[in-house]
A and B are shown apart, each in its own frame.
Chain A
Amino acid sequence: MSTVGGLEHPIDPLADAPPEGWVAGRSPWALAGHKLVRNRMAMAALAVFLGIVVVSFMGPFYADHIAHTDPFTSQLTATTVINGKRVDVLQQGGGVLKLGETPIGPTWQRNYFLGADSQGRDVAARVLYGGRTSLTIGIGSAVICSLLAVIVGMVAGFYGGVTDSIISRGLDVVWAFPVYLLAISIATVLLTQGLTIGPFSISASSLWLPTLIIAVIYVPYVARPVRGAVLSVREKEFIEAAIAQGASNRRLIFNEILPNVITVLIVLLPLMIATTILTESALSYLSIGVQPPNASWGTIINDGQQLLYTRPWVAIAPGIMIVLTVLSLNVFGDGVRDALDPRAKLRVKD
């Protein structure tokens, strides 16, 4: 018999199977996943977010087979049937003067469920298509931002010294600009001519342009925590041990440091997606993000701004989608953080 840590259980390290009654341990990832799954709020938020994603990506199906509409083409002289009666989508004003043309309001039916906008387009179909665009740009720019930030943060934190100084000062310069002002400045310039770097060219109307702009402006916000985590892990004993064993820099970075800092990224990712979706909506609302007639939640709010007095649903519907998406991502992100970051649950007990 042997004792381990005061325990009187018989342990044979050469045995093929663990002794009877021994409970197998879980990996940190499994523990975190178990914790996350047991967090009902986080799971509900995830379900809401996934629901929004699924519904948004069903936009083409909705437009083609349910609403029978093209949400990108002007429908100024279109008509529709409501309660068996054919009516103009843009309806002439009343009274003696008969001024103005007002789009129809929500019909709560297959056609024009949420009504029409000032171009006579189906608002519900545009909100779904807009979701596709906003989610694609939001998730895409968050992923690209994370990739860039990992590279920048790893290089700065691992190599230190002059390299770290140069990179950190560069990040400070970008961080010094208010994020939205920086995005507006870059977008205003690039939207007139597009972006051309060597053989690569992105046209002004391409969705890649807002995606890349948003990704780049948020790099400092992710790179700094990554750099901090790298600096912390770099001083650990197992890194010293790996160096003593002759591990190359590449092995150190990919096999030792990266797996230990990836949790920072995983915690940040849902929150970054929420942030990038908000930023895309803001830029598109200002007409320097997604360009019309493409739809995004921001462009639809811009379209609806002129109809707030008469057809408020045009602006309210995409606004609700943005709120639900960002809220669900924030709640889910909190749950991920609670599951992965043990220090987040520390409490001082009296």
Chain B
Amino acid sequence: MDSGDDIAIGKARRGDRDAFRVLVERHAKAVFRLAYRMTASENDAEDMVQETFLRAWKQIGKFDGRASFATWLHRICANCSLDLIRARRRRQSLYQPPDDEGVDPFEKVPAASPSPERLAQSSQISAILVPALRELSEMERAAFVMRHYEGMGIEEISVALGVQPGAAKHSVFRAVQKLRRVLEPVMSASR
């Protein structure tokens, strides 16, 4: 019900919390899905959903309607997730944490080379894919997740990430190249 967002956005911009609540309830699941792809952690994804909507409330006066509200939220969510990933990488470079706390969840998934039979299950695919996604730059990861999993077009991704369409296209392309390098041997082995 995207067209219905206009009414709620208008009211929320005037400080109407009820209208903003409607937007939260409409978009929370979609934001969660993006946040999960970005962070690979359910707990982090839920935190990112909250952070996204808090930032959205603070910035709703700046929402100009050029992109859809969903795209605008995706942009905020991608930036929140990237901030989290960057902060964790910084902390990791400063300290070696004794446990999982403060570690990029992508780092927690062990790189594996399972047999083609095992790859039939999605959990095993994740065991290869998630570490491969970890190797991507933040921009590549965000652009690939938006393109492949969220079905967003290059133009939309460029708006969401605040970059030129050419840069968004190249980020997607570089991500695909890197992922193919990991996935190609698996495909060959499964034949």
A and B bind: no
Chain A contact residues, CB within 8 Å of chain B: none
